[in-house]
Amino acid sequence: MKLKDKVAIVTGGSRGIGKAIVYALAAEGAKVVFTYQSSEESSKKIEEELSSKGLTALSIKADASLMSEAEKTINFVLEKFGTLDILVNNAGITKDNLLIRMTEEDFDKVISANLKSVFNYTKAALKPMISKKYGKIINISSVVALNGNAGQSNYVAAKSGVIGFSKSIAKEVASRNISVNVIAPGFIATDMTDKLNEKQKEAIVNLIPMKKIAEPEVIATTVTFLSSSDSDYITGQVIAVDGGMTM
């Protein structure tokens, strides 16, 4: 187990990519605390399933866009396990629309959920990591942050901000043995893609050189790599897990 006795936080861990990350980190021996905002029932099922396998995962309800909630999560982890090694900022939402039709409220909500959340949890996590002189921070951005996407100016602005923020913080904390890296997923099979019809899915696949939509586990395995000692000399990087879309 590459992450035996490590302690990890995953924001937005109750479904989709976040859920896959929780399972992957726990399977490698990490003690995982994951946040959710509304999916309490599914979060408890994740806890129970992993516990039945002898693995550790605990859920906590928290709004990642609020600093007070981020601090609550960090304090919960420190009280429970006494340390923090890994932070995965995955929480996020979409409110897509063409800019001419986008409301100020929808712009602000997406920026808060996808970008300010990363600021909140990173800032709150840095104190124990700096004290320990060790930490792995992995921020989930998106392939659209590299290419842009019509109808997602709010989401792209947030996810692009995650990249710039991560590179800046990576430079601030590298001397403290803390790495900060970014994963930019391409099209991944999630609740969003499940809602697409076959014609829409075919159009997406045609944009991908590998000609397939990936499962969330491909992101989770990359997170596991960046969380482990295998990545100790990697920081400030953006890894596109996208089937070749950004080549």
Q: Which two tokens stand for residue 47?
A: 């806890």
Catalytic member of 23, 36, 121, 155: 155
Q: How many CB atoms lie within 10 A of CB 226?
A: 23
Q: Which two tokens stand for residue 135?
A: 């930490």
205 vs 213: CA distance, rounded Å: 7
Q: How many CB atoms lie within 10 A of CB 133?
A: 11
Residue 155 annotated as catalytic? yes
Q: Are strands 135-140 and 86-89 parallel, antiparallel or unpaired?
A: parallel
Biggest CA-to-CA distance, the chain = 52
Computed over its alpha carbons, how large is the radius of gyration of the chain?
17
The residues annotated with a catalytic role in the active site are: 155
